[in-house]
Every structure is written in structure tokens, then in C-alpha cells.
């Protein structure tokens, strides 16, 4: 029977059916569910792990592949930056068992810090890249990727995007094909990439790209559908890939000819030339960068692309209908200006206490990526910078070195537990090694919150929920050479404030571990809710918390919405007039 499945689940299903045995990833929206779904398949069939970061994850997958198993690693676009080092060289070694790297781009930046186009990596690392357009293709392309990986002895990139990863369409599942472990053979020229061997392998890589380019001409991953119909007397052709193919079909129907590229690197030559030769006008419809367009232009083909389509954000069928057919957008209602609804930290979020204190102390806050990035949103508006995972720690050292110790004493880094494991530790070691006096606050909420609650090395549980050895953050910081490490509860705002002040004043590096679990964890059981009594003098201190449950009426009365409040009690301690009372249900 057909079932609705998001693209990510279909990729997981495809990998499972292709006999994958090892999957290692680090979470990242919109790619996370692939690995989560993998972990729902039997442990006897497939080993699945959350790795501390993408580089480690990719290396685990590469090792598994060399060890003879079909393997996979999944990441979001910026995760590919982190794993770039191993995969550029894995392109040289080739594979043992098939190896697929699923990477999900985020046009429109629904949940990302940039809008990079991962197709550039395929060309740069000289890796075969496939791009499915819906869940059905997610499944079939993933299976095809394993076959091609072994046929051409190459890791394969599977490019997804938010709309493909998170849209559900109908698929049909089939049984898993058991693929035996390949024999492990020591092969120094293939797997030891020192210059003498790598020189030989580079030749193999270029030959492989030539072979793949020839393959691109004939594979049924690339399809051409011609029509004799004309638009305004012209035969129009569109070149599409991924979800833009779906948009194009909806917008243009069968009035144009299609060249849909399922294989986006390497790109075919003759196929595109012949297609263009049969059309009077050709449009390349691709979100983000003009990768296919530039290829066509390099072939001397006269195509439209970014002259009529934007480089920025997601496309829509209406945009395509307008650009290609000159159709006006459908009529629609217009509305008055209204307040936006940006995401906020949940009611009861442990980070709220931390940022309340940091804001009160007027500190410069070198921020990082996670739920706590929302500490940059009003009214807390406490975070000064956010660049990439781990940068809170190392960039703060740079700031301190640039501006001196007095500045450093008014500067803190904030970094989540998962992000600290990912790439904060190395920055901390840099601080110790190079005699920084920075204060780093690890926001230990016992989970990877932002991406939807994944376990990590500090939580004591594996992806399958089994108990495992928990990384001891305090001991780890000590071992890095931080003598002053204190654990504090961010909801005990007075003590927490004193601890942060003490840490900042030191002439030595310091770590504060702000420990309180994420309010959404099943183990967290706040009860009741808070109410504001007649003692309230409308001073507005509690509003500074930015809790979604507390708001001010027009007459200045402060109210707590019982439906939204989860009874965390943070506001109770913040009110100077003790006007907020906890009511147990």
C-alpha cells in the first residue's frame, strides 16, 4: 500500500532497503529525521549513531565503507563544511561498501544561518551528486546511489532541500536487500593517502569523472520529455533539478519541454546540447546558485537563468509561470500590517534564566547556535554574535586578544552542551593554551534542543535510548586546563549572577556550567502555574524575562496566561515585590 512519507524518511527507507549497515550523523535541520528514522530499524540490521560532529560522523561512515559495509552519513548544508576535510580525500580513496552522504540545503533559511548551495562541493570534491525531487525519488535515488557508489568506486552525495526533506508524498516500500559485508583487504595504494599514493589516485578520480560524465548522457536519472506545443509561437524548454522540477510542472504543465536532471554532478554535455537545439528558448530553473546555468553557458548554450530568476530564497510555481509564460500571479486578498510571530524560547526554558542574568550584568555575549541563539531576540536581546557552531568560544578569545583584558572581563561565551561537544572543546583548549582569561558558560540543558531533542555525549544515552557512559563536563574542562569550573542553576538567578560575576573577574579562564534540563524533556515535570497577586506594582521586571506566558494588558496590568505557563517558577524569584505566586493544580 502507498503511504505518505517525508523525504527524509524515504531516504532512510531507501538506505535500509539498500542494505545499509552503518549510519553516523550529527543532527541538523532539515536533515535530522533521516538518521532518526534509521534508528527505528532493527539494531541487528543497522548500526546507527549520533556522532559528536559531522567530521567524526563522516569518518565513521568512511571507515565502515572501507570495512566493507554500505554506510551513510547525513547532515545539513553547513554540516558539509565541517566534514569537507574527510570527504575531499574519501573522493580519492573511493569506497569499499557503498557510501552515501546525504546533505540537505535550506533555501529560504527556515532554520539556518546561511543559504549556501552544496552543489559546489560536488564539483570541488569531484563527487557524483544526485538530487531527488520528491519522496518517491528520495527512496529510489538513495538505492541508486548505493549501486553507483560501488559501480564507480566513489562516495555519492545525495542533495536534498528543505521542501524535499520535509514534504510528504506517496511512496511504496519494499523489502530490504541483504548486502553481504565485502571482504576486508589491505590496500595501501588505495587507502593510504600520502603524496605518492594520492598522485596515483588523482588520476583515478579524473578518469572517474570522465566516466561519470559519459554515464550522465545515458542514465535514466536524467530524463527528457519533449513537446511540440509552443508558447507565443516559440518552443520552450526548461532544465530542472530537485523540487524546482515539481514547481515547473505545476506552473507550466505540458506546454514546455523538460530536461530534468536527477544527476546534478557531473552534468551531461550532449544531452543538454541536443535538448537546447530542439527548443527556441531554454530556461534553467534552479534555486540558489547558477550551477547548471553556468555549465550550460560554458557549453555555449544560450539559456535564461538568473537573468529572470532570483539567487535568493525558495522558488514557487507562480514565480516560474510569471518568468516563463508572463502569467500574472493569482489575485489575492491583502492585509494590514500586523505583528510578526518570531520563534521564542519555550515557557520554562532553562536558557531564559541565563540570559536574564547576562542582560542584567550588561555583558558582551559571544553567542553560538542552538535554542539559546534566541537569546538575541527582544526583550532579552542579550547575544552579540552568532557565526557557526563552536565560534562562541574561539571568537571570544579573538575579541579578548583584540581588545584586552578589561574587555575580556565583561565578555562571556555561551554554548550549548551539544555544541560544546561538537566544536567548543577545541576553542576552550585554545584559551588555555594561549593564556586567555575568558569565561565560557556551557548551557547544559541535557539535550540537543534546537534540532528536536537528540541525545549527545553529555546525556548518557545513545540514539537508540540505551544507557552509555556520560561525558563529565566538569572533569573535561578541568582536563583541558581550566582550574575554575562551577556548576550553577540558571533559575536560581541570584546565585547564578554571583557565579558569573566571580568568573568574569578572574585573571584566569573560567567555565560556568549552567545546568537545568530543557523544559520539553519528558523527565522534566513542572506542575501547576503561576499567578500575579494584588501585590503587583506593575514594575515590569517579570516582562524582561520574555516568557511567552507573561504579558501586559493595555491598562498596565500584568497577566500570566494559565494555558501557556508551565509552572517553571522562574518569574517567582524575579519579582521584587513577591507578587507572583505558584498555584498547584
Q: Which is nearer to ligand TPP, 64 or 369 (CB)?
A: 369
The minimum distance between CB 228 and other proteins, in angstroms, equals 18
Query: d(Cα 268, Cα 263) in Å, to the nearest integer?
Result: 9
- Residues from 53 through 112 that contact ligand TPP (CB under 6 A): 54, 76, 78-79, 82
The minimum distance between CB 303 and ligand TPP, in angstroms, equals 34
The minimum distance between CB 451 and ligand TPP, in angstroms, equals 5
Helix (H, G, I), strand (E, B) or coil at 461: strand
Q: With CB cut-offs between 5 and 8 Å by kind, which of ligand TPP, other proteins, ligand SF4, none does residue 25 bind? A: none
Taking CB under 6 A as the criterion, the residue among 144, 291, 369, 512 binding ligand TPP is 369
How many binding residues for other proteins (CB under 8 A)? Answer: 60
Query: Please, what sign has the CA dihedral across residues 321, 325, 329, 330?
Result: negative
Taking CB under 6 A as the criterion, the residue among 447, 499, 568, 570 binding ligand TPP is 447
The minimum distance between CB 372 and ligand TPP, in angstroms, equals 5
Query: d(Cα 298, Cα 544) in Å, to the nearest integer?
Result: 57
Residue 568 lies near ligand SF4 (rule: CB under 6 A): yes
Q: Which is nearer to other proteins, 438 or 454 (CB)?
A: 454
Query: d(Cα 163, Cα 146) in Å, to the nearest integer?
Result: 23
Q: Is 546 left (phi over 0), alpha (psi -120 to 50) or beta?
A: left
Helix (H, G, I), strand (E, B) or coil at 292: helix
The minimum distance between CB 553 and ligand SF4, in angstroms, equals 15
The minimum distance between CB 8 and ligand SF4, in angstroms, equals 20
- Residues from 368 through 387 that contact ligand SF4 (CB under 6 A): 371
Give me the 314-343 binding string for other proteins, x by CB under 8 A, dash otherwise.
Answer: x-xxx----------xxxxxxxx-xxxxxx
DSSP 8-state secondary structure symbol assigned to residue 522: T
Q: With CB cut-offs between 5 and 8 Å by kind, which of ligand SF4, other proteins, ligand TPP, none does residue 195 bind? A: none
- Residues from 538 through 567 that contact other proteins (CB under 8 A): 543, 546, 548, 550-552, 554, 561, 563-564
Asked if 482 contacts 510 with a C-beta cutoff of 8 angstroms, the reply is: yes
DSSP 8-state secondary structure symbol assigned to residue 414: E
The DSSP H or E segment spanning 480 is helix 473-480
Q: With CB cut-offs between 5 and 8 Å by kind, which of ligand TPP, other proteins, ligand SF4, none does residue 570 bind? A: ligand SF4
Taking CB under 6 A as the criterion, the residue among 62, 441, 530, 575 binding ligand SF4 is 530
The minimum distance between CB 388 and ligand TPP, in angstroms, equals 6
Q: With CB cut-offs between 5 and 8 Å by kind, which of other proteins, ligand SF4, ligand TPP, none does residue 78 bind? A: ligand TPP
Q: Which is nearer to other proteins, 480 or 530 (CB)?
A: 530
Closest CA to 450 of 104, 27, 82, 166: 27
The minimum distance between CB 346 and other proteins, in angstroms, equals 6
The minimum distance between CB 347 and ligand SF4, in angstroms, equals 4
Closest CA to 252 of 343, 303, 326: 326
Give me the 383-412 binding string for ligand TPP, x by CB under 6 A, dash otherwise.
Answer: ------x-----------------------
Q: How many CB atoms lie within 10 A of CB 403?
A: 13
DSSP 8-state secondary structure symbol assigned to residue 231: B
- Residues from 16 through 55 that contact ligand TPP (CB under 6 A): 26-28, 54
CA 471 to chain centre: 24
Give me the 307-346 binding string for ligand SF4, x by CB under 6 A, dash otherwise.
Answer: --------------------------------------xx
The minimum distance between CB 364 and other proteins, in angstroms, equals 22
Q: Which residue matches cell numbers 500500500?
A: 1
Q: Which residue matches cell numbers 511504496?
A: 172
Taking CB under 6 A as the criterion, the residue among 93, 244, 382, 445 binding ligand SF4 is 445
The minimum distance between CB 557 and other proteins, in angstroms, equals 13
Query: d(Cα 170, Cα 339) in Å, to the nearest integer?
Result: 37
Query: d(Cα 431, Cα 122) in Å, to the nearest integer?
Result: 35
DSSP 8-state secondary structure symbol assigned to residue 323: I
Q: In whole angstroms, how far apart are CA 239 and each of 195, 291, 293? A: 40, 12, 9
Q: Which is nearer to ligand TPP, 113 or 294 (CB)?
A: 113
Q: Is 109 left (phi over 0), alpha (psi -120 to 50) or beta?
A: left
Cell of 263: 544527476
Taking CB under 6 A as the criterion, the residue among 98, 155, 416, 567 binding ligand TPP is 416
Burial 81-110 (b: 16+ CB within 10 A, else e): bbbbebbeebbbbbbbbbbbbbbbbbbbee
Residue 163 lies near other proteins (rule: CB under 8 A): yes
Residue 116 lies near other proteins (rule: CB under 8 A): no
Q: How many CB atoms lie within 10 A of CB 552?
A: 13
Q: Which is nearer to other proteins, 7 or 19 (CB)?
A: 7
Facing residues of 512 across strands? 441, 486
Query: d(Cα 23, Cα 144) in Å, to the nearest integer?
Result: 17
Taking CB under 6 A as the criterion, the residue among 76, 351, 359, 422 binding ligand SF4 is 351
The DSSP H or E segment spanning 484 is strand 484-488
Closest CA to 81 of 117, 49, 50: 117
Contact residues for 264 (Cβ-Cβ < 8 A; gap 6+): 119, 122, 129, 130, 131, 159, 241, 242, 291, 292
Q: With CB cut-offs between 5 and 8 Å by kind, which of ligand SF4, other proteins, ligand TPP, none does residue 334 bind? A: other proteins
Asked if 296 contacts 303 with a C-beta cutoff of 8 angstroms, the reply is: yes
Binding site for other proteins (CB under 8 A): 2-4, 29-30, 110-111, 134, 162-163, 166-170, 243, 246-247, 249-251, 253, 314, 316-318, 329-336, 338-346, 371, 374, 377-379, 451-452, 543, 546, 548, 550-552, 554, 561, 563-564
Binding site for ligand TPP (CB under 6 A): 26-28, 54, 76, 78-79, 82, 369-372, 389, 416-419, 443, 445, 447-451
Binding site for ligand SF4 (CB under 6 A): 345-349, 351, 371, 445, 449, 518-520, 530, 545, 547, 549-550, 560, 565-571
Amino acid at each position: 500500500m502507498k503511504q505518505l512519507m517525508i523525504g527524509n524518511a524515504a531516504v532512510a527507507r531507501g538506505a535500509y532497503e539498500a542494505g545499509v549497515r552503518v549510519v553516523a550523523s550529527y543532527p541538523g535541520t532539515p536533515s535530522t529525521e533521516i538518521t532518526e528514522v534509521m534508528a527505528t530499524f532493527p539494531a541487528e540490521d543497522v548500526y546507527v549513531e549520533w556522532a559528536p560532529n559531522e567530521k567524526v560522523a563522516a569518518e565513521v561512515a568512511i571507515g565502515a565503507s572501507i570495512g566493507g559495509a554500505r554506510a551513510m552519513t547525513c547532515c545539513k548544508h553547513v554540516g558539509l563544511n565541517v566534514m569537507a576535510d574527510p570527504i575531499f580525500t574519501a573522493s580519492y580513496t573511493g569506497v569499499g561498501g557503498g557510501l552515501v552522504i546525504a546533505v540537505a540545503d535550506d533555501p529560504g533559511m527556515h532554520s539556518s544561518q546561511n543559504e549556501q548551495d552544496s552543489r559546489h562541493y560536488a564539483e570541488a570534491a569531484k563527487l557524483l551528486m544526485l538530487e531527488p525531487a520528491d519522496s518517491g525519488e528520495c527512496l529510489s535515488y538513495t538505492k541508486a546511489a548505493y549501486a553507483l557508489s560501488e559501480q564507480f568506486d566513489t562516495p555519492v552525495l545525495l542533495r536534498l532541500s528543505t521542501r524535499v526533506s520535509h514534504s510528504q508524498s506517496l511512496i511504496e516500500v519494499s523489502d530490504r536487500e541483504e548486502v553481504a559485508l565485502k571482504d576486508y583487504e589491505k590496500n595501501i595504494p588505495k587507502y593510504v593517502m600520502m603524496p605518492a599514493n594520492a598522485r596515483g589516485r588523482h588520476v583515478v578520480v579524473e578518469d572517474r569523472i570522465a566516466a561519470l560524465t559519459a554515464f550522465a548522457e545515458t542514465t535514466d536519472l536524467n530524463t527528457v520529455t519533449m513537446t511540440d506545443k509552443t508558447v507565443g509561437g516559440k518552443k520552450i524548454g526548461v532544465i530542472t533539478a530537485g523540487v524546482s522540477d515539481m514547481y515547473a510542472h505545476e506552473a507550466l504543465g505540458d506546454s514546455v519541454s523538460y530536461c530534468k536532471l536527477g544527476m546534478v554532478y557531473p552534468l551531461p554535455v550532449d544531452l543538454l546540447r541536443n535538448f537546447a537545439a530542439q527548443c527556441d528558448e531554454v530556461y534553467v530553473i534552479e534555486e540558489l546558485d547558477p550551477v547548471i546555468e553556468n555549465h550550460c553557458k560554458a557549453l555555449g548554450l544560450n539559456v535564461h537563468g538568473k537573468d529572470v530568476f532570483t539567487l535568493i530564497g525558495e522558488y514557487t510555481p507562480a514565480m516560474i509561470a510569471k518568468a516563463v509564460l508572463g502569467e500574472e500571479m493569482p489575485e489575492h486578498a491583502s492585509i494590514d500590517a500586523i505583528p510578526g510571530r518570531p520563534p521564542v524560547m519555550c515557557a520554562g526554558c532553562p536558557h531564559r534564566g541565563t540570559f536574564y542574568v547576562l542582560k542584567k550584568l550588561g555583558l558582551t555575549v559571544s553567542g553560538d547556535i542552538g535554542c539559546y541563539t534566541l537569546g538575541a531576540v527582544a526583550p532579552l536581546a542579550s547575544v552579540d554574535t552568532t557565526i557557526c557552531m563552536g565560534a562562541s568560544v574561539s571568537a571570544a578569545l579573538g575579541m579578548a586578544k583584540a581588545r584586552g583584558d578589561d574587555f575580556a572581563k565583561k565578555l562571556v561565551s555561551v554554548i550549548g552542551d551539544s555544541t560544546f561537544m561538537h566544536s567548543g572543546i577545541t576553542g576552550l583548549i585554545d584559551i588555555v593554551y594561549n593564556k586567555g582569561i575568558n569565561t565560557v558558560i556551557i548551557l547544559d540543558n541535557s539535550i540537543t534542543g534546537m534540532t528536536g531533542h537528540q541525545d549527545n555525549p553529555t546525556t548518557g544515552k545513545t540514539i537508540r535510548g540505551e544507557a552509555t557512559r556520560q561525558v563529565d563536563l566538569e572533569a573535561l574542562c578541568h582536563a583541558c586546563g581550566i582550574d575554575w569550573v562551577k556548576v550553577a542553576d540558571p533559575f536560581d538567578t541570584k546565585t547564578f549572577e554571583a557565579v558569573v560575576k566571580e568568573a568574569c573577574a578572574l585573571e584566569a579562564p573560567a567555565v560556568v556550567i549552567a545546568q537545568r534540563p530543557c523544559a520539553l524533556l519528558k523527565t522534566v515535570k513542572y506542575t501547576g502555574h503561576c499567578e500575579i497577586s494584588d501585590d503587583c506594582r506593575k514594575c515590569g521586571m517579570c516582562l524582561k524575562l520574555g516568557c511567552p506566558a507573561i504579558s501586559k494588558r493595555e491598562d498596565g496590568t500584568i497577566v500570566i496566561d494559565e494555558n501557556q505557563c508551565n509552572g517553571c517558577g522562574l518569574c517567582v524569584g524575579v519579582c521584587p515585590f513577591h507578587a507572583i505566586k505558584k498555584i498547584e493544580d
